[in-house]
Amino acid sequence: MTDFWLISVPLDKTSLTSVEKLKRTIAKTNLASSCCKFSIPDLKVRIVIKKTCQCMKEVLESSDKVLENALANGVDLMNFMIKFQWDKAKYPTSLTLSSLAEIINKEVSQVEAELKSRSAAYNSVKASLQNLEHKLDGNLQTCSLNDVVRKEDLVVSEYLTTLLVVVARGSYSQWERSYESLSKFVVPRSKNTQYSQICVVCLNYQSVASGPHRFFVRDYSFDLEEQKQREIMQLSFHKKEQYGIFVRWLKVNFSEVFVAWIHLKALRVFVESVLRYGLPVNYQALLLQTDRKHSKKLKEELASLFVHLDPTASITDVSCDIPGLCQQEYFSYICFHISTNVLDIS
């Protein structure tokens, strides 16, 4: 799994020398697969990505399809991170920090509210369809019979009706011998055995009593079953229609939220750098792409190179369970951990 570390160091002579040394060390040791500048503009001195991914996974029903559709501005997330440029049209750098943060939070809140509404509507259609399909699936005692029973085979009149009886294979001989005597209202020789079930004609005001026998009389109406089939077809069409609309919305808004998320991270790096290194603004942000197996050695190398910034800084794990940006410990340099496991939502 690939991780990104967003670090920031001041642009003093010692730190710049350390940055160059870091690049050479990375090239020799493969502690990170890349080290590039992370562009943050000069600025006046809780995000819904996981929910969106979870919803996308549930709708697409495939983690691979989530990776294919989870793009930022039309490119994969890694390329977006590496080539990040501040969107000055969307987030004008002439605004104050609080105004920029408010724009991002408002944008994300709107997406979150609409995600909740759209997800509820789609899941309602999906649940209704599954509920109907479940009722019509299963064994002969519950499944739909309209595909095997013809309407003309059913005798329905003022005085007669047709019952559908489920008979176990092992009990068929017993049925043959006894069905006419199950009730005095059964019409003799009225059974029809061309189906998996048996049709029996009896008087309309009295049904067959199965008694101790292993016979099951189905509660069945051809017209009602036909109506349920039409409902399933309508719900299937509606679900398919909603699926396309919802997936397109998820793709667009995942991109919007991810872009906003990374801008917020850049904003935090700027704030932390100004607070740590002071004014005038003079720092360099770097984006390091690494993986878990090299993280410990990379942290040790960074601590060694930038120890001059603060000799008292600790060396501890910066990883956290919350996808995104977190700075759990204090380092001599500014470091934010941005994990790509934002898509690992299993």
Q: What is the pLDDT of residues 248-275, one digit of tens each?
A: 999 999 999 999 989 999 999 999 999 8
More confident residue, 343 or 183: 183
- To the question of domain 1-39+281-307+331-345 being in CATH 3.40.47.10, the answer is no
Q: With both helix axes pointing from N to C terminus, report the angle between 292-305 and 13-29 in degrees, rounded to the nearest 10.
A: 150
**Single-letter code of the amino acid located at 225:** E
- Per-residue pLDDT at 207: 45
Q: Do domains 1-39+281-307+331-345 and 43-72+85-145+223-263 have the same CATH topology?
A: no
**Single-letter code of the amino acid located at 259:** V
pTM value is 0.70
Helices (H) and strands (E) in the chain, counts: 8, 7
| Tens of pLDDT, residues 118-151 | 999 999 999 998 887 776 666 666 666 666 666 6
Render 242-272 in DSSP notation, one character per residue: HHHHHHHHHHHHHHHHHHHHHHHHHHHHHHH
Q: Are 313 and 331 in contact (CB under 8 A)?
A: yes
Q: Are 82 and 36 in contact (CB under 8 A)?
A: yes
Give the start-to-end residue ranges of the domains of the chain.
Answer: 1-39+281-307+331-345, 43-72+85-145+223-263, 156-219
Q: Coil, strand, or helix at residue 2?
A: strand
Tokens of 29: 């040791």
pLDDT of 44 above 80:
no
The CATH fold of domain 43-72+85-145+223-263? subunit c (vma5p) of the yeast v-atpase, domain 2 (1.20.1460)
Q: Which CATH number fits domain 156-219: 3.60.110.10, 3.40.140.80, 3.30.70.100, 3.40.50.300?
A: 3.30.70.100
- Per-residue pLDDT at 163: 72
